[in-house]
Amino acid sequence: MTGFQDIHVPVQTGKPQLGISMLVEITPAMPGIELALAYATPENLTGQPIYRRAGCYLHADAVPLLARAAVLAQPLGYRLKIFDAFRPVEAQWALWNAFPIPGFVSDPRTGSVPHCRGVAVDLTLIDFQGQELDMGTGFDDPSAKSWHGDTEVSTEAQRNRYILLGIMSAAGWDFYAREWWHYQLFQPRRYPVLSDSVLASGLMPPAGG
Ligand SMILES: [Zn+2]
């Protein structure tokens, strides 16, 4: 099982079709947003880049909610730092093949892949100096310390997680109990799973390259 063709849910492929895939690029020009796409660097679970470039995309429905979160964070002295957003289903296969751990990495065949639908974002809070707030664990730490409500991490980290949870919830996002950094739109299965080929310039390296 190495190809996205094996997925048991429909995958949308092909060149961008306006009004269907509806992915919008998120850039640092967006107020209150900083990009640090972990899968475009070796700083991720697999120890090597999965994306060939640091492109950040979300479904058009998710963009106003991200902007709203940035607006809510601003008076508190924070900005949003994004680790991942739209993840082509090919990238989900790369993660699943490296870490087939249900509950931590989603098996692409289940269709439980909100990032592949463009409606999930992984992020943290940074201050105006660009320093990440202490969240107790790093992004993608698979331990139970990453769960919301974990009391093993410092009270400072707990407080910071609740600030992020409050900002994102107030902006209209749903959360995932086992990852403090992950937020997604409610009812993500309303949106299709997308292949890298829907992007005019894809995130994935050429096959076999
Ligand atoms: Zn996530």
- For residue 204, is it within any domain? no
Instruction: Note the pLDDT of residue 46.
Output: 86
Q: How far is the CA of 183 from the centre of ligand 1 (A)?
A: 7
- For residue 54, is it within any domain? yes
- For residue 96, is it within any domain? yes
- For residue 50, is it within any domain? yes
Q: How far is the CA of 121 from the centre of ligand 1 (A)?
A: 6
Q: How far is the CA of 107 from the centre of ligand 1 (A)?
A: 13
The CATH number that applies at residue 79 is: 3.30.1380.10
Q: 140: phi > 0 → left, psi -120 to 50 → alpha, else beta; which?
A: left
Instruction: Note the pLDDT of residue 21.
Output: 63
Q: In angstroms, rounded to a whole number, what is the distance separating the alpha carbons of residues 183 and 180?
A: 8
- Domain with 65, as residue range(s), is 4-198
- For residue 192, is it within any domain? yes
Instruction: Note the pLDDT of residue 167.
Output: 98
The yes-or-no answer on residue 152 being catalytic is no
Tens-digit pLDDT string for the chain (209 aa):
334 444 456 677 765 554 556 899 999 999 999 999 999 999 888 889 999 999 999 999 999 999 999 999 999 999 999 999 999 999 999 999 998 988 778 899 988 899 999 999 999 999 999 999 999 999 989 899 999 999 999 999 999 999 999 999 999 999 999 999 999 999 999 999 999 999 989 999 987 54
Q: How many domains does the chain have?
A: 1
Q: How far is the CA of 16 from the centre of ligand 1 (A)?
A: 24
- For residue 203, is it within any domain? no
Instruction: Note the pLDDT of residue 2.
Output: 39
Instruction: Note the pLDDT of residue 1.
Output: 36
Beta strands in the chain (DSSP E): 11-12, 23-25, 33-35, 57-59, 78-84, 120-127, 174-176, 179-184, 193-194
CB 86 within 8 A of CB 23: yes
Q: Which of 34, 132, 156, 179 is catalytic?
A: 179
